[in-house]
Amino acid sequence: MKISTSIHMFNTDYPIGEAIRRCKAAGFEALDFNYTDYVPRLIGMSWAEEERWAQEIREAAELHGAVFAQMHGPIHGAAFDSMQPGLDLDTYAAYSERALRTAAILGASWVVLHPGNRMLAAAEPSAKQLAFNRNVYLRLLPVMEETGVGVALENMFDRPRGGGRSVRSYCAAAEELAELVASLDHPLFGACWDTGHAHMQGLRQGDSLRVLGALLKAVHIQDNHGLTDAHLLPYQGTIDWKEVMSGLAAIGYQGDFTYETHGYFRPVPLELMDSALTFAVSTGKQLDGLFQLESTGTRQLIG
């Protein structure tokens, strides 16, 4: 597996070219672009301006011999009827389409987006949520086919919504995510597995990964203690990493091993960041070793 990371350990005011250079120098073999963090700025930009901006990022990546493989697209918010300020269903679709076009310029194959609850106030039956989410994401298909960039939908977790009440989140379960992605029934739709979200949900990740199987195209690797979505480096929380790696091996996962670990990186002063990045790469390599070992075991079992 290629060891990859979002470049969001650097904030959005930090020069993107320098962020790419430092991640590449630390040994990351692929990168994830945190488009979502730039959305507040992009909302004020025309497409022509965004296109120029994306081309500059692509050139910076090429200069440093780095490759963007995936991207985190816009985040709609707590539910589709309660979006981030400035977003509604139409603008969310429009910005997601722009994200797909920007991903195409960067050379990224997958844009990760969040499934969501239709309403903030109450959980609804899974079938209703499935139909709603399916319609939202099918709107993107023409631009996906035009650009060749896929959409990987990510697993969520139950969380307090309004007044501290915990409401079921649609696609917190791998079964729901697999059903949604399978219903979209197109090679450009896939699933992204966020290990931290799954841990918050208390899932047995090996079992969940086996439910997703070949639908899994991307991962967000992050750790936590099961209490907050902390986005730590593996081994800093309580996830069973052997189980995760063995699950990925069992399904023959072909994608990158991509960190979403801003909780680990953000407190680190800039002058220590290169060491922090290098340690993250070493951690990824050790986990990839477990993956390779399990993959060989799985192949021998099948053989």
Where on the chain is the footprint of Zn ion (CB under 5 A)? 194, 220, 260
C-beta of 152 vs 295, nearer to Zn ion: 152
Cβ of residue 155: shortest distance to Zn ion, in angstroms? 8
Cβ of residue 278: shortest distance to Zn ion, in angstroms? 23
C-beta of 58 vs 244, nearer to Zn ion: 244
Looking at beta carbons, which residue is closest to Zn ion? 220
Cβ of residue 212: shortest distance to Zn ion, in angstroms? 15
The CA distance from 103 to 111, in Å, is 7
Cβ of residue 268: shortest distance to Zn ion, in angstroms? 20
C-beta of 170 vs 295, nearer to Zn ion: 170
Cβ of residue 52: shortest distance to Zn ion, in angstroms? 28
Cβ of residue 6: shortest distance to Zn ion, in angstroms? 9
The CA distance from 78 to 168, in Å, is 12
Report yes or no: 300 and 46 within 8 Å, Cβ to Cβ: no
C-beta of 37 vs 194, nearer to Zn ion: 194
C-beta of 29 vs 260, nearer to Zn ion: 260
C-beta of 8 vs 58, nearer to Zn ion: 8
